[in-house]
Structure 1
């Protein structure tokens, strides 16, 4: 009987992994490994799947330096990973820790460290061991006033820009915690019990204790795996065009992507903007670093140039061969030293006639927030520099946020949007190998 239960668990998890991941490729699949029961179960199941599918697993463990036993926990996680056949890398959250909001800060640090390590290893997907119990606990916490987001089986990394291009897969999201531990017991496996899980100072622990004591669980509303974007008309690196009937989830995703920030808008400010869109009023507003210009049935979202100064988006100096993100919207890689990225604001008149002509294809509100390049020895800024590659992140990020991808292979192919709201200008990737001036003959934002 125990073997039959284990076989059924493996079959369910393998099916979820097969639905999302490629086979027989050298690229690793990353896995967040805390050493707790859920992550050890995921480690064993994922490594078994990887052996049969021609993949490798890279387990990533974060030492938060918050518990005197944390170094020993990392050692345990390394041993468990290597015994299961996975590669392993230990990560450490260093520096001063906040005196308030520690749980949220630790979660953000963990996601950031894991995302950077996964990307550096060439992974495109990170496995997390959230279970059905985590969903119910989070629902109870939200019912009590917490602002936690909802976890889904397949979703983008929540950190930006560290998590660019990465998806999270939670193949245990429909499994019960007790069932996983019973399966581990049957295998004679060990795991770590973090005392923080029973510490009532933490909201997650209080929710877990309340549910264990018999408190009724709130209803869980499963989000469809591929929710259609409502009200989105067209997307480019410079702007997003929407209609007035855009839904809240799509609007929030578009605003944070266009604004280049890390946290999508929620609560009253988002509701107020949706109410204004539902009216017949024409208006201009700013939210989440994005400018919202509404005229008739046309809604245009562009980067609010004034927010560049408030966010202190100063010059970004490029290190040869190292990709760097500017304003959360563009990634640049230079092949030679001396290049810096700055906003076009205050510099547009210094561009060449050809560059100004190319910028004319952008919506007027987007031009001053467009990046330009400067270099010692150049008379003025340029749109493209010799050996500098620019990759737009807005369309790619929005594509992931709105479930335009369903599989690991989708993360490798170039984003494809069916509509173009503006004349062709710059593609997502553009390298100028000749002179500094760029002709506006590209395929347009993809």
Structure 2
């Protein structure tokens, strides 16, 4: 569970502790120190001590910046989710509980009305951190509860909490929302729109996403994000124009959100846009032996020998071995430039990654989580089994 030390997370950690004891489950407290307040170390120690009193494991991480001049809350939120995901994965957790309440929902709606692009809270959703949060879900059990009621419960139980002065700093949108809603405005529980229609959307071991032409825009937007390996959805106006062309029956190719969409008579194909590498730089990643590494937001790789790096195939295809060239020839042409290949520090290679490493395409799992196809912790079985011959994973 993510615990800041504020009233909402303190209330939930006590409730979660009672549930864990009753159900024979272990509870781990995860704390992120943003370093933004001079008392942050004291807050860290208070959360650590509370976890110890509850008999829960305690793990912490610190955000060292850099802190942007503008957009600090968003940057802090992204850093927090990334560090929570890293800690959760390190201890083998698949679900992170957070203490968001109905008040957070109301504040988010107020901020959206003021022009914020903040997303809507859902009780069950994938971690927004990527690729750190791959395979992780967030559970928000308190979305139907009011913050005041939780504080009354804590007071009755003799439990205190931390008051973060940033919550009253009107430089931040969240604080302005709290002030605007302090008159008791209704904090309605959100309608849980868990999933965009995902009928017919699928991904293969190469990360290729296929979808019918009548895929609804929200699912299409997420498919583009997944194919591109990023986190930012396409702008609404660009997505709308793309959807209009698809609906009109037009066959075309277009780039959006780091992905390439190929619209044909037999449906849509979404792949990585290799031209994006020329604009943003080629992703080249060192691969420590025996450690899983996420590359380009699309593949997880693990090698057994030191000295390997992973890079895109673009510009290296002519130097592939005969067997690898035969494999690549069976992949759609639009997919090939962004396939991962292994190269050594001495420029040995390239070797198709599936030939020299254990490789998992992340698209299928990410689609399942993001499109609401995973309803329960027991269904979190996205991980494929590695093949012993190092080639494509078993789907």
TM-score with structure 2 setting the length: 0.93
Instruction: Say whether 1:249 aligns with 2:218.
Output: yes
Instruction: Say whether 1:140 aligns with 2:125.
Output: no
**Partners of 1:221 and 1:46 in 2: how far apart?**
22
Deviation per CA, 1:111-140: give whole Å up to 9, x if none.
Answer: 111111111111111111001111111011
SS in 2 for 1:274: helix
**Partners of 1:139 and 1:96 in 2: how far apart?**
29
Residues 207 and 298 of structure 2 are in contact (CA less than 8 Å); yes or no, is this contact kept in structure 1? no
1:200 is matched with 170
**Partners of 1:443 and 1:328 in 2: how far apart?**
17
SS in 2 for 1:212: coil
2:87 equivalent among 117, 126, 129: 117
**Partners of 1:219 and 1:271 in 2: how far apart?**
30
Cα–Cα, structure 1 residues 155 and 76, in superposed 2: closer, same or farther, change >3 Å?
same
1:343 is matched with 312
Question: Could you tell which deviates more after superposition, 307-316 or 36-45?
Answer: 307-316
Residues 64 and 92 of structure 1 are in contact (CA less than 8 Å); yes or no, is this contact kept in structure 2? yes
1:147: Cα distance to partner?
0.5
Residues 289 and 304 of structure 1 are in contact (CA less than 8 Å); yes or no, is this contact kept in structure 2? yes
Question: Could you tell which deviates more after superposition, 303-312 or 130-139?
Answer: 303-312
1:287 is matched with 256
1:363 is matched with 332
Residues 139 and 220 of structure 1 are in contact (CA less than 8 Å); yes or no, is this contact kept in structure 2? no
**Partners of 2:217 and 2:355 in 1: how far apart?**
42
2:3 is matched with 33
Instruction: Say whether 1:272 aligns with 2:241.
Output: yes
Instruction: Say whether 1:212 aligns with 2:196.
Output: no
SS in 1 for 2:85: helix
1:423 is matched with none
2:68 is matched with 98
Unaligned runs of 5+ in 1: 1-30, 416-427
2:78 is matched with 108
Number of residues of Structure 1 aligned to a counterpart in Structure 2: 394
Cα–Cα, structure 1 residues 110 and 246, in superposed 2: closer, same or farther, change >3 Å?
same
Question: Could you tell which deviates more after superposition, 121-130 or 367-376?
Answer: 367-376
**Partners of 1:270 and 1:171 in 2: how far apart?**
33
Residues 169 and 175 of structure 2 are in contact (CA less than 8 Å); yes or no, is this contact kept in structure 1? yes
Unaligned runs of 5+ in 2: none
Residues 313 and 327 of structure 1 are in contact (CA less than 8 Å); yes or no, is this contact kept in structure 2? no
Deviation per CA, 1:160-199: give whole Å up to 9, x if none.
Answer: 1111111111111111111111111111101011111122
**Partners of 2:316 and 2:380 in 1: how far apart?**
35
Cα–Cα, structure 1 residues 44 and 279, in superposed 2: closer, same or farther, change >3 Å?
same
Cα–Cα, structure 1 residues 181 and 376, in superposed 2: closer, same or farther, change >3 Å?
closer
**Partners of 1:217 and 1:186 in 2: how far apart?**
24
2:96 is matched with 126
1:33-112 alignment runs, 5 A limit: 33-112=3-82
1:410 equivalent among 371, 379, 387: 379
2:197 equivalent among 201, 217, 229: 229
1:166-205 alignment runs, 5 A limit: 166-205=136-175
Residues 384 and 431 of structure 1 are in contact (CA less than 8 Å); yes or no, is this contact kept in structure 2? no
**Structure 1 outlier segments of 4+, above 4 Å:** 216-221, 376-379, 384-387
Instruction: Say whether 1:326 aligns with 2:292.
Output: no
1:259: Cα distance to partner?
0.3
Residues 232 and 250 of structure 1 are in contact (CA less than 8 Å); yes or no, is this contact kept in structure 2? no
**Partners of 1:389 and 1:259 in 2: how far apart?**
21
**Partners of 1:406 and 1:71 in 2: how far apart?**
37
TM-score with structure 1 setting the length: 0.83
SS in 1 for 2:31: strand
Deviation per CA, 1:311-340: give whole Å up to 9, x if none.
Answer: 323322211122111111011111111211
